[in-house]
Amino acid sequence: MSIQRFTVIGAGQMGSGIAQVAAQSGFEVRLHDVKEELIRKGLAGIEKNLNRQVSKERISEADRDGVLSRIQPAVTLEEAANEADIVVEAVVENMEVKTSLFRRLDGMCPTHAILASNTSSLPITEIAAATQRPEQVIGMHFMNPVPVMKLVEVIRGLATSDAVYKTVEELARAMGKTPVEVNDFPGFVSNRVLMPMINEAIYTVYEGVATPEAVDEVMKLGMNHPMGPLTLADFIGLDTCLYIMETLYEGFGDSKYRPCPLLRKYVKAGWLGKKSGRGFYVYE
Ligand code: CAA
Ligand code: NAD
Protein backbone atom coordinates (compact mmCIF):
# COMPACT_ATOMS: atom_id res chain seq x y z
CA MET A 1 0.00 0.00 0.00
CA SER A 2 1.34 3.44 -0.85
CA ILE A 3 1.36 6.16 1.79
CA GLN A 4 1.10 9.81 0.82
CA ARG A 5 -1.09 11.50 3.38
CA PHE A 6 0.34 11.26 6.85
CA THR A 7 -1.62 12.46 9.87
CA VAL A 8 -0.12 13.04 13.30
CA ILE A 9 -2.36 13.38 16.37
CA GLY A 10 -0.69 15.17 19.30
CA ALA A 11 1.68 18.08 18.63
CA GLY A 12 3.85 17.64 21.75
CA GLN A 13 7.52 16.76 21.66
CA MET A 14 7.02 13.40 19.90
CA GLY A 15 4.16 14.37 17.56
CA SER A 16 5.92 17.50 16.33
CA GLY A 17 9.14 15.52 15.77
CA ILE A 18 7.25 12.82 13.81
CA ALA A 19 5.47 15.50 11.72
CA GLN A 20 8.80 17.20 10.97
CA VAL A 21 10.53 14.01 9.84
CA ALA A 22 7.49 12.90 7.78
CA ALA A 23 7.39 16.27 5.99
CA GLN A 24 11.18 16.23 5.48
CA SER A 25 10.73 12.79 3.90
CA GLY A 26 8.25 14.24 1.37
CA PHE A 27 4.89 13.24 2.89
CA GLU A 28 1.87 15.54 3.06
CA VAL A 29 1.26 15.96 6.78
CA ARG A 30 -1.70 17.07 8.86
CA LEU A 31 -1.01 17.86 12.49
CA HIS A 32 -3.76 17.88 15.12
CA ASP A 33 -3.94 18.61 18.86
CA VAL A 34 -6.78 19.44 21.25
CA LYS A 35 -6.17 23.20 20.97
CA GLU A 36 -5.06 25.26 18.00
CA GLU A 37 -2.43 27.02 20.15
CA LEU A 38 -0.81 23.64 20.85
CA ILE A 39 -0.59 22.92 17.12
CA ARG A 40 0.98 26.37 16.64
CA LYS A 41 3.47 25.64 19.45
CA GLY A 42 4.39 22.33 17.78
CA LEU A 43 4.85 24.07 14.43
CA ALA A 44 7.01 26.77 16.04
CA GLY A 45 9.26 24.02 17.47
CA ILE A 46 9.56 22.42 14.02
CA GLU A 47 10.46 25.79 12.48
CA LYS A 48 13.12 26.35 15.15
CA ASN A 49 14.65 22.91 14.42
CA LEU A 50 14.65 23.59 10.68
CA ASN A 51 16.22 27.03 11.19
CA ARG A 52 19.02 25.34 13.15
CA GLN A 53 19.57 23.03 10.16
CA VAL A 54 19.63 26.07 7.84
CA SER A 55 22.20 27.85 10.03
CA LYS A 56 24.39 24.72 9.93
CA GLU A 57 23.99 24.73 6.12
CA ARG A 58 22.49 21.23 6.20
CA ILE A 59 19.38 22.42 4.33
CA SER A 60 18.56 25.55 2.31
CA GLU A 61 15.94 28.17 3.19
CA ALA A 62 13.89 26.85 0.25
CA ASP A 63 14.05 23.30 1.73
CA ARG A 64 12.84 24.66 5.07
CA ASP A 65 9.95 26.51 3.43
CA GLY A 66 9.03 23.38 1.44
CA VAL A 67 8.93 21.25 4.62
CA LEU A 68 6.81 23.80 6.47
CA SER A 69 4.38 24.08 3.55
CA ARG A 70 3.83 20.29 3.67
CA ILE A 71 2.54 20.44 7.28
CA GLN A 72 -1.07 21.56 7.52
CA PRO A 73 -2.55 22.33 10.94
CA ALA A 74 -5.85 20.45 11.40
CA VAL A 75 -8.00 22.06 14.06
CA THR A 76 -10.67 19.36 14.07
CA LEU A 77 -10.06 15.60 14.31
CA GLU A 78 -12.35 15.09 11.31
CA GLU A 79 -10.17 17.37 9.16
CA ALA A 80 -7.05 15.55 10.37
CA ALA A 81 -8.49 12.10 9.66
CA ASN A 82 -10.72 12.26 6.59
CA GLU A 83 -8.07 11.78 3.87
CA ALA A 84 -5.31 10.01 5.80
CA ASP A 85 -3.45 6.96 4.49
CA ILE A 86 -1.85 6.58 7.91
CA VAL A 87 -2.46 8.19 11.29
CA VAL A 88 0.30 8.17 13.88
CA GLU A 89 -1.07 8.92 17.34
CA ALA A 90 1.28 10.62 19.84
CA VAL A 91 -1.03 11.81 22.63
CA VAL A 92 -0.65 11.31 26.38
CA GLU A 93 0.35 7.78 27.56
CA ASN A 94 -3.08 6.83 28.88
CA MET A 95 -5.12 3.84 27.71
CA GLU A 96 -8.54 5.51 28.07
CA VAL A 97 -7.48 8.56 26.08
CA LYS A 98 -5.91 6.40 23.38
CA THR A 99 -8.82 3.93 23.01
CA SER A 100 -11.38 6.73 22.86
CA LEU A 101 -9.28 8.48 20.19
CA PHE A 102 -8.82 5.29 18.13
CA ARG A 103 -12.58 4.63 18.29
CA ARG A 104 -13.25 8.10 16.87
CA LEU A 105 -10.50 7.82 14.26
CA ASP A 106 -11.91 4.46 13.14
CA GLY A 107 -15.19 6.19 12.33
CA MET A 108 -13.56 9.11 10.49
CA CYS A 109 -10.60 7.69 8.53
CA PRO A 110 -10.85 6.13 5.06
CA THR A 111 -11.33 2.34 5.27
CA HIS A 112 -7.83 1.67 3.89
CA ALA A 113 -6.08 3.84 6.50
CA ILE A 114 -3.56 2.39 8.93
CA LEU A 115 -3.91 3.53 12.55
CA ALA A 116 -0.54 3.54 14.31
CA SER A 117 0.30 4.39 17.92
CA ASN A 118 3.56 5.87 19.15
CA THR A 119 2.77 4.51 22.63
CA SER A 120 5.85 3.84 24.78
CA SER A 121 4.41 0.85 26.60
CA LEU A 122 0.65 0.27 26.26
CA PRO A 123 -0.68 -2.93 24.62
CA ILE A 124 -1.33 -2.42 20.89
CA THR A 125 -3.82 -5.33 20.94
CA GLU A 126 -6.01 -3.48 23.45
CA ILE A 127 -5.85 -0.21 21.49
CA ALA A 128 -6.72 -2.15 18.31
CA ALA A 129 -9.74 -3.79 19.97
CA ALA A 130 -11.36 -0.35 20.26
CA THR A 131 -11.63 -0.26 16.45
CA GLN A 132 -13.39 -2.29 13.76
CA ARG A 133 -10.05 -2.68 11.93
CA PRO A 134 -7.63 -4.36 14.37
CA GLU A 135 -5.64 -5.85 11.49
CA GLN A 136 -4.77 -2.26 10.44
CA VAL A 137 -3.61 -1.14 13.90
CA ILE A 138 0.09 -1.24 14.77
CA GLY A 139 2.70 0.26 17.09
CA MET A 140 5.15 2.67 15.45
CA HIS A 141 7.39 3.69 18.33
CA PHE A 142 9.76 6.54 17.51
CA MET A 143 12.52 7.61 19.91
CA ASN A 144 13.10 11.08 21.31
CA PRO A 145 14.39 13.35 19.76
CA VAL A 146 12.70 11.99 16.63
CA PRO A 147 14.80 13.93 14.07
CA VAL A 148 18.01 12.48 15.55
CA MET A 149 17.28 8.94 16.75
CA LYS A 150 17.46 6.14 14.16
CA LEU A 151 15.22 3.52 15.75
CA VAL A 152 11.54 2.80 15.18
CA GLU A 153 10.23 -0.15 17.20
CA VAL A 154 7.43 -1.67 15.12
CA ILE A 155 4.97 -3.55 17.31
CA ARG A 156 2.57 -6.13 16.01
CA GLY A 157 -0.74 -6.44 17.81
CA LEU A 158 -2.37 -9.87 17.92
CA ALA A 159 -4.39 -9.15 14.76
CA THR A 160 -1.96 -6.89 12.82
CA SER A 161 -1.77 -8.12 9.22
CA ASP A 162 1.53 -8.89 7.47
CA ALA A 163 0.67 -6.36 4.74
CA VAL A 164 0.23 -3.58 7.30
CA TYR A 165 3.43 -4.58 9.09
CA LYS A 166 5.34 -4.46 5.78
CA THR A 167 3.90 -1.05 4.84
CA VAL A 168 4.91 0.44 8.19
CA GLU A 169 8.37 -1.09 8.00
CA GLU A 170 8.84 0.47 4.55
CA LEU A 171 7.45 3.77 5.80
CA ALA A 172 9.97 3.84 8.67
CA ARG A 173 12.77 3.27 6.13
CA ALA A 174 11.38 6.01 3.87
CA MET A 175 11.66 8.31 6.91
CA GLY A 176 15.36 7.45 7.25
CA LYS A 177 14.80 5.20 10.28
CA THR A 178 15.71 1.60 11.07
CA PRO A 179 12.65 -0.48 11.98
CA VAL A 180 12.99 -3.32 14.49
CA GLU A 181 10.15 -5.84 14.90
CA VAL A 182 8.91 -6.46 18.42
CA ASN A 183 5.95 -8.38 19.82
CA ASP A 184 3.23 -6.87 21.96
CA PHE A 185 4.32 -7.08 25.63
CA PRO A 186 4.29 -4.22 28.17
CA GLY A 187 7.08 -1.73 27.45
CA PHE A 188 8.02 -3.72 24.30
CA VAL A 189 11.85 -3.97 24.33
CA SER A 190 12.98 -0.34 24.56
CA ASN A 191 11.16 0.69 27.72
CA ARG A 192 11.26 -2.71 29.40
CA VAL A 193 15.02 -2.34 29.42
CA LEU A 194 15.45 1.44 29.72
CA MET A 195 12.77 2.43 32.22
CA PRO A 196 13.76 0.11 35.12
CA MET A 197 17.24 1.66 34.88
CA ILE A 198 15.76 5.16 35.12
CA ASN A 199 13.47 4.07 37.99
CA GLU A 200 16.46 2.55 39.82
CA ALA A 201 18.43 5.78 39.32
CA ILE A 202 15.51 7.63 40.97
CA TYR A 203 15.61 5.14 43.88
CA THR A 204 19.30 5.92 44.42
CA VAL A 205 18.36 9.61 44.87
CA TYR A 206 15.32 8.70 47.02
CA GLU A 207 17.46 6.53 49.31
CA GLY A 208 20.16 9.21 49.61
CA VAL A 209 22.84 7.17 47.87
CA ALA A 210 23.83 10.16 45.72
CA THR A 211 22.62 13.47 44.29
CA PRO A 212 21.02 13.58 40.83
CA GLU A 213 24.19 15.24 39.50
CA ALA A 214 26.35 12.44 40.92
CA VAL A 215 24.10 9.67 39.57
CA ASP A 216 24.17 11.23 36.10
CA GLU A 217 27.93 11.75 36.21
CA VAL A 218 28.49 8.08 37.15
CA MET A 219 26.39 6.84 34.23
CA LYS A 220 27.78 9.34 31.72
CA LEU A 221 31.46 8.97 32.52
CA GLY A 222 31.31 5.37 33.72
CA MET A 223 29.04 3.86 31.09
CA ASN A 224 29.43 6.34 28.23
CA HIS A 225 25.72 7.13 28.17
CA PRO A 226 25.12 10.38 26.21
CA MET A 227 22.85 11.66 29.00
CA GLY A 228 22.64 10.55 32.63
CA PRO A 229 19.41 8.68 33.51
CA LEU A 230 17.90 11.59 35.46
CA THR A 231 18.62 14.11 32.71
CA LEU A 232 17.08 11.59 30.32
CA ALA A 233 14.02 11.15 32.58
CA ASP A 234 13.53 14.94 32.61
CA PHE A 235 13.94 14.96 28.82
CA ILE A 236 11.39 12.15 28.28
CA GLY A 237 8.90 13.69 30.77
CA LEU A 238 8.46 12.38 34.33
CA ASP A 239 4.71 11.83 33.71
CA THR A 240 5.55 9.58 30.76
CA CYS A 241 8.18 7.73 32.83
CA LEU A 242 5.62 7.12 35.58
CA TYR A 243 2.93 5.90 33.14
CA ILE A 244 5.44 3.48 31.60
CA MET A 245 6.50 2.12 35.02
CA GLU A 246 2.83 1.67 35.95
CA THR A 247 2.20 -0.25 32.72
CA LEU A 248 5.18 -2.54 33.45
CA TYR A 249 4.11 -3.01 37.10
CA GLU A 250 0.49 -3.80 36.24
CA GLY A 251 1.33 -5.78 33.10
CA PHE A 252 3.83 -8.15 34.72
CA GLY A 253 2.66 -7.99 38.35
CA ASP A 254 6.29 -8.08 39.45
CA SER A 255 7.52 -5.85 42.30
CA LYS A 256 10.76 -5.17 40.45
CA TYR A 257 8.80 -2.67 38.33
CA ARG A 258 7.35 -0.70 41.29
CA PRO A 259 7.53 3.02 40.44
CA CYS A 260 9.75 4.92 42.88
CA PRO A 261 7.65 7.02 45.33
CA LEU A 262 9.85 10.02 44.52
CA LEU A 263 8.81 9.78 40.86
CA ARG A 264 5.13 9.77 41.92
CA LYS A 265 5.72 12.75 44.21
CA TYR A 266 7.36 14.82 41.47
CA VAL A 267 4.56 14.09 39.00
CA LYS A 268 1.92 14.99 41.62
CA ALA A 269 3.79 18.28 42.20
CA GLY A 270 3.64 19.04 38.48
CA TRP A 271 7.42 18.61 38.17
CA LEU A 272 7.32 16.87 34.80
CA GLY A 273 10.90 17.58 33.74
CA LYS A 274 12.11 19.81 30.93
CA LYS A 275 8.64 20.43 29.48
CA SER A 276 7.31 21.95 32.74
CA GLY A 277 10.56 23.76 33.65
CA ARG A 278 11.37 21.56 36.65
CA GLY A 279 12.10 17.90 37.35
CA PHE A 280 15.33 16.56 38.80
CA TYR A 281 16.84 19.77 37.45
CA VAL A 282 15.53 23.31 36.93
CA TYR A 283 15.22 24.63 33.36
CA GLU A 284 15.10 28.31 32.40
N1 CAA B 1 15.39 17.97 18.25
C2 CAA B 1 16.05 17.92 17.08
N3 CAA B 1 17.38 17.81 16.99
C4 CAA B 1 18.08 17.79 18.13
C5 CAA B 1 17.47 17.87 19.40
C6 CAA B 1 16.06 17.96 19.43
N7 CAA B 1 15.36 18.00 20.59
N8 CAA B 1 18.42 17.82 20.35
C9 CAA B 1 19.60 17.72 19.71
N10 CAA B 1 19.39 17.70 18.38
C11 CAA B 1 20.42 17.57 17.33
C12 CAA B 1 21.36 18.76 17.30
O13 CAA B 1 20.86 19.78 16.45
C14 CAA B 1 22.61 18.13 16.74
O15 CAA B 1 22.46 18.02 15.33
P16 CAA B 1 23.71 17.99 14.32
O17 CAA B 1 24.55 16.78 14.70
O18 CAA B 1 23.07 17.86 13.01
O19 CAA B 1 24.46 19.25 14.54
C20 CAA B 1 22.61 16.71 17.31
O21 CAA B 1 21.25 16.45 17.68
C22 CAA B 1 23.51 16.59 18.53
O23 CAA B 1 23.07 17.58 19.46
P24 CAA B 1 24.01 18.35 20.48
O25 CAA B 1 25.42 18.40 19.92
O26 CAA B 1 23.36 19.64 20.85
O27 CAA B 1 23.92 17.49 21.78
P28 CAA B 1 24.38 16.02 22.08
O29 CAA B 1 25.55 15.58 21.28
O30 CAA B 1 24.43 15.98 23.56
O31 CAA B 1 23.15 15.13 21.58
C32 CAA B 1 21.15 13.99 22.06
C33 CAA B 1 21.85 15.34 22.03
C34 CAA B 1 21.07 13.40 20.64
C35 CAA B 1 19.75 14.22 22.57
C36 CAA B 1 21.98 13.01 22.99
O37 CAA B 1 22.17 13.61 24.24
C38 CAA B 1 21.32 11.67 23.18
O39 CAA B 1 21.43 10.78 22.34
N40 CAA B 1 20.64 11.50 24.34
C41 CAA B 1 19.93 10.27 24.65
C42 CAA B 1 18.63 10.22 23.89
C43 CAA B 1 17.85 8.99 24.18
O44 CAA B 1 18.26 8.09 24.90
N45 CAA B 1 16.66 8.93 23.58
C46 CAA B 1 15.74 7.85 23.83
C47 CAA B 1 14.78 8.26 24.92
S48 CAA B 1 13.67 6.97 25.32
C49 CAA B 1 12.50 7.06 24.14
O50 CAA B 1 12.48 7.90 23.27
C51 CAA B 1 11.45 6.01 24.21
C52 CAA B 1 10.32 6.25 25.10
O53 CAA B 1 9.25 5.70 24.81
C54 CAA B 1 10.39 7.04 26.35
P1 NAD C 1 3.68 15.57 25.30
O2 NAD C 1 3.07 15.79 26.63
O3 NAD C 1 4.86 16.37 24.87
O4 NAD C 1 2.56 15.76 24.14
C5 NAD C 1 1.31 15.12 24.15
C6 NAD C 1 0.36 15.99 23.33
O7 NAD C 1 -0.85 15.26 23.11
C8 NAD C 1 -0.03 17.30 24.04
O9 NAD C 1 0.22 18.40 23.20
C10 NAD C 1 -1.53 17.12 24.32
O11 NAD C 1 -2.27 18.32 24.23
C12 NAD C 1 -1.92 16.17 23.19
N13 NAD C 1 -3.17 15.43 23.44
C14 NAD C 1 -3.59 14.86 24.59
N15 NAD C 1 -4.78 14.27 24.38
C16 NAD C 1 -5.12 14.48 23.09
C17 NAD C 1 -6.23 14.12 22.27
N18 NAD C 1 -7.24 13.42 22.75
N19 NAD C 1 -6.23 14.51 20.98
C20 NAD C 1 -5.20 15.22 20.45
N21 NAD C 1 -4.12 15.58 21.17
C22 NAD C 1 -4.07 15.22 22.47
O23 NAD C 1 4.01 14.00 25.23
P24 NAD C 1 5.08 13.24 24.31
O25 NAD C 1 6.35 13.14 25.06
O26 NAD C 1 5.05 13.83 22.94
O27 NAD C 1 4.44 11.78 24.30
C28 NAD C 1 3.38 11.43 23.44
C29 NAD C 1 3.31 9.93 23.29
O30 NAD C 1 4.57 9.44 22.77
C31 NAD C 1 3.05 9.15 24.58
O32 NAD C 1 2.28 8.00 24.28
C33 NAD C 1 4.46 8.76 25.00
O34 NAD C 1 4.49 7.63 25.83
C35 NAD C 1 5.10 8.46 23.64
N36 NAD C 1 6.55 8.57 23.60
C37 NAD C 1 7.20 9.51 24.34
C38 NAD C 1 8.58 9.59 24.26
C39 NAD C 1 9.33 10.63 25.04
O40 NAD C 1 10.56 10.51 25.16
N41 NAD C 1 8.69 11.65 25.56
C42 NAD C 1 9.30 8.72 23.42
C43 NAD C 1 8.59 7.78 22.66
C44 NAD C 1 7.21 7.69 22.77
Q: Which CATH superfamily is domain 5-183 in?
A: NAD(P)-binding Rossmann-like Domain (3.40.50.720)
Confirm or deny that 15 is annotated as ligand binding.
Answer: yes
Using one digit for the tens of pLDDT, what is the confidence trace for 49-83? 999 999 999 999 999 999 999 999 999 999 999 99
Does 191 qualify as catalytic in the annotation? yes
Name the percent of the chain lying above pLDDT 90.
99
CA distances from 258 to 57, 158, 228, 254 (A): 46, 27, 21, 8
Cis peptide before 110 (omega within 30 of 0): no
Atom of ligand 2 nearest to the CA of 272: 2
Q: Say yes or no to pLDDT of 1 above 80.
A: no
Nearest residue (by CA) to ligand 2, atom 23, is 12
Residue 284's pLDDT is 87
Q: Where in the chain is the domain with CATH 1.10.1040.10?
A: 191-276
Nearest ligand to the C-alpha of residue 151? 1
Name the percent of the chain lying above pLDDT 70.
100
User: Exposed e or buried b for every residue in 228-262, given b needs 16+ CB within 10 A?
Assistant: bbbbbbbebbbbbbbbbbbbbbebeeeeebebbeb
Pick the CATH number of 191-276 from 3.40.50.720, 3.20.20.330, 1.10.510.10, 1.10.1040.10: 1.10.1040.10
- Overall pTM surpassing 0.95 (yes/no): yes
User: Contact, 124 vs 139, CB < 8 A?
Assistant: yes
Does 126 qualify as catalytic in the annotation? no
CA 200 – ligand 1 centroid, Å: 23
CA 250 – ligand 1 centroid, Å: 31
Using one digit for the tens of pLDDT, what is the confidence trace for 205-224? 999 999 999 999 999 999 99
